[in-house]
Chain A
Amino acid sequence: MNQALPTLTLKDFASDQEVRWCPGCGDYAILKTIQKLMPDLDTPKENQVFVSGIGCSSRFPYYMNTFGFHTIHGRAPAIATGVKLSNPELDVWVITGDGDGFSIGGNHMMHVLRRNVDLQILLFNNEIYGLTKGQYSPTSQVGTHSPSSPNGSIDSPLSPCLVALGSGGTFIARSIDTEAKHLTEVVKRGHDHRGAAFVEILQNCPIYNDGIFEQVKDKKVAPDFRVEVVHGEPLKFGKENEKGIALNRDSLRLEIVSVKGNEGRLLIHDETNKIQAQLIAAMAGPDFPVAIGVLYRENKTSFIHDAQVQVEKARSTKRSLEGLLNSGHTWEVD
């Protein structure tokens, strides 16, 4: 019998800890959005667990009035896997950043995605190391001036969503820190997904990388620099939705076309099409708008489910320590 859960509000999910992010940090907006959407999830509060690594974003669990584990740099996916394997009933969230999730912890990210462990992974991407005072990160654009790259960084950045796709991720989305409505929708869909739900959140660091996502966030110019993808809908953008994305079937490349006269050619977003997801996830300025929304999803059995099936099958046989110790060849001495 389903028992009605008590009605909770945002306040029930806010811990009594003073939030210590810098004023103006995008993390505040994300925190508020997550606290606000928690009561809508069909999970008792005591079953919510937030696991994080190290970095500004990883302080997140301290501000949630749920179970929280602030762990070590890059390892949150591995720790969260242990939590979820130990108790599959729990609703486990991984909070990570671009350095935590894709530099020091890149290996775990890859494996948690390919295994399809049932977690919600929120990657706060601000393209910079904040907590260590502003060094360039694996998602920083080439030429980023920072204390460790005074002449500009020379590393090519990686695209978190593309890496997630390449790792075999089954739910891959992108959203923006301050866009509560969009973020809420994307995160809720990720929460409903069985398996690893990966959400890249473009997050502004006002101290070390301010305005890096301004083009996609500033309402005045954003329509020209981003495209909101919706399953089954054509990819249109621009102030009047006058521009569209089409696939050039000869070059197998995307191109920007005017909607007028090209209605039939526009790419229709299909969340289940991995090839298309790779093309859309790779779209970036200055030539293309950045795609936000659910880029890819796939129905696949989850790691935790399969692990449970094996455990339950094994436990259907009777266990006895006595039997184990006496199994195989034994002999009696009188």
Chain B
Amino acid sequence: MELAEEKLDEHHLDEKEVLDVVVRFAGDSGDGMQLTGTNFTQATALYGNDLSTFPDFPAEIRAPVGATFGVSAFQIYFGAEDVTTAGDATDVLVAMNPAALVTNLENLIDGGLIIVDSGAFTAKNLTKAKYESNPLEDGSLDGFRVFSIDIHKQVLAAVEPFGLSHKDALRCKNMWTLGLVMWLFDRDRSATIENLKTKFANKPAIADSNIAALNAGHAYGETAELPAGIHVYKVPKAKVAPGTYRNITGTQALAWGLIAGSELADLDLLFASYPITPASNLLHELASHKEFRVNTFQAEDEIAAVCAAVGASFAGSLGITSSAGPGIALKSEGMALAAAAELPLVVINTQRGGPSTGLPTKTEQSDFNMAMYGRHGDTPIPVVAASTSIDCFDVAIEAVRLAAKYMTPVILLSDGYLANAAEPWKIPQADSLPSFNIRHYDDPTNFKPSIRNEETLARVWAKPGTPGMEHRIGGIERSYDTGEISYDPTNHQKMTELRKAKVDGIAKDIPLQEVCYGNDSGKLAVVGWGSTFGAIHQAVKRAVAEGLDVSHIQVRYLSPMPSNLGELLSNFDAIIVPEMNTGQFIKLIRSEFLIDADGINKIAGQPFKIGEILAAIHKKYIELEEGL
């Protein structure tokens, strides 16, 4: 199906109370927009709104000042009802310079609010943003509410008492702006103030200046004469289940899930990785948590990383490696070794735009085929996918469980969007998580490395250092009976079938596929996997509210798939599969279950919008109604 978009009903900023709002902070990559966004997110969570964030930054670390390709943005969608995407269109755009305005204006709703730093609209910056005239003066923004303030001037005045250099003083611009936006949405500044005190504990003048700027921005909102149509907006609190909450990004949830997995499995972890965007943060997070049964190893390359992980698994720890697409491609031989030697291994792919270097900081789901098929030999490997930032926690635990229980590599698919996006998480009780103690084999009586668990078909895990367990394994085909090298033709057939049966058998050990929204049968099912969850959920919810017979199914277990999935899908007249690739999962669905399905494919480096899924639902629905 063609990718089309419907504009969603927007809550107008004319009202004092709005159900949900999308705010986008945009500025130079050195302007501190990500820090501004995370602090606003925290204040919003503490206020009690549901939320979802989308940090959207360039690959350049510090692009030339004022350049359009250097614009870094942080989008947050917050509201009174369940929020699962970062929002289709922007209600409030904070633009720190002309480049930030020109690159983000397209997505602003009609009548949306623009907060700009007029002090940054110099002739030089306008030229860099390719503006022929100043948009603040030429009437081109007449369809929006423009709140134009010389933030440069305001900040310099606010931090003047602290004696900073001109350059350092101007670096407080982001906090001044944050103060103003906090006023706009009635957020509490105290958490941000605490953060600033901690962050600049050794530089009190910088801390004080930033706090002063934050307060000054807030005070400006309270006292300044405001343009017509700009006022404080009230966004009612979301109704959520009682409990203790925190904000968490997908990367953090994934790292903590791995840590939890090691505790639940009673196993040491070795996380071996090589830096690559957007996967590196996982290495950073785990490297700072060695108080748990985690060790980390920054290897010399992607291949060494997977190999060190396989070595660790041979020695009795659980080896884990992580990368993005190009790095996973390099790991393929090591993964197949783990499959051949039947050793546990978790491989995490934080997918990004491809091929090759592609779009390193943007999101995509285009490594599905590589995860499913990208190996030499007949090498089945289980594949699981996380669907939200929070879900990364549970999926990580599940990957650890499956790898250790079935003595197999497991691929976990995340993506750049999930890795960086934050959402509020109701913190689970650690002691309520189900443990799955993994035991190493240590019985020397008639020991062979080929002894198997009859139910799981998993080979025994006998680790070096255990007397009587001495054995040799490797990549050469092994005898089913003895585990020794075997080139026997019938044995190879048997072992190949065994490896397949072992992975296929995991289907008996995973939950049946459930419908996450809507009925178990009906006219139309929207079937997704991975980070498309949020947009599909909202679109299906809206369609159901319109009275349409639509359901949402999100598949976590991609290989093997839940045993009831085929039957479940056959209960629907039509199926739509949205994917951030050219249609990879859909081919599996069609070939595996011999059912038809329509794909919606977005390969723009950006997550789906709700309106894009909704448009596809409407189009398909009309086709069904008209019996086309």
Contact = CB atoms under 8 A, between A and B. Distances in A.
A86 B292 contact: no
A71 B268 CA distance: 22
Contacts of B433: 321
B484 A17 contact: yes
Contact of B311 (A64, A79, A307, A317): A79
B554 interface: no
B474 interface: yes
Nearest to A82: B311
Interface residues of A, number: 59
Interface string B60-94: 00000000000000000000000000000000000
A275 B433 CA distance: 59
B468 A320 contact: no
A321 B310 contact: no
Given A325-B430, A326-B427, A69 B311 contact: yes
A324 B256 contact: yes
B375 to A, nearest CB: 13
A196 to B, nearest CB: 14
Contacts of A15: 472
Interface stretch (B226-234, B296-304, B407-415, B536-544): B296-304
User: What secondary structure prevails in chain B residues at the interface with A?
Assistant: mixed
Interface in A71-89: 71-72, 75, 77-87, 89
A69 B312 contact: no
A249 interface: no
A334 interface: yes
Interface stretch (A28-36, A181-189, A280-288, A308-316): A308-316
A4 interface: no
A333 B242 contact: yes
Contact of A330 (B245, B272, B312, B485): B245
A61 B430 contact: no
Contacts of A326: 244, 246, 427
A334 B42 CA distance: 18
Interface stretch (A40-48, A144-152, A170-178, A219-227): A40-48
A86 B268 CA distance: 8
A67 B311 CA distance: 12
B292 A46 contact: no
A250 interface: no
Given A17-B484, A47-B465, A314-B291, A85 B470 contact: no
Contacts of B308: 78-79, 81-82, 85
Contacts of B272: 82
Interface in A45-75: 45-47, 49, 51, 54, 61-62, 64-72, 75
A82 B466 contact: no
B407 to A, nearest CB: 15
Interface stretch (B158-166, B315-323, B566-574): B315-323
B224 interface: no
Contacts of B374: none
B310 A71 contact: yes
Most chain A C-beta atoms within 10 Å of own C-beta, residue among B42, B268, B295:
B295
A79 B343 CA distance: 13
A246 to B, nearest CB: 40
B464 A70 contact: no
30 contacts: A46-B468, A49-B464, A51-B311, A61-B474, A67-B470, A67-B471, A69-B474, A70-B475, A72-B307, A72-B334, A78-B299, A78-B300, A82-B310, A82-B313, A84-B315, A85-B297, A86-B311, A86-B316, A108-B307, A110-B300, A307-B295, A319-B292, A326-B244, A328-B246, A329-B42, A330-B246, A331-B245, A332-B244, A333-B426, A334-B242
Given A82-B312, A86-B268, 14 more contacts: A67-B464, A69-B341, A72-B333, A82-B272, A82-B315, A86-B311, A87-B317, A107-B304, A317-B291, A322-B429, A326-B246, A329-B246, A333-B243, A333-B244
Nearest 3 CB-CB pairings of A with B = A82-B311, A70-B474, A82-B308
Interface of B: 42, 45-46, 48, 191, 240-247, 256, 259-260, 263, 268, 270, 272, 289-292, 295, 297, 299-301, 303-305, 307-317, 319, 333-334, 337, 341, 426-431, 433, 463-476, 484-485
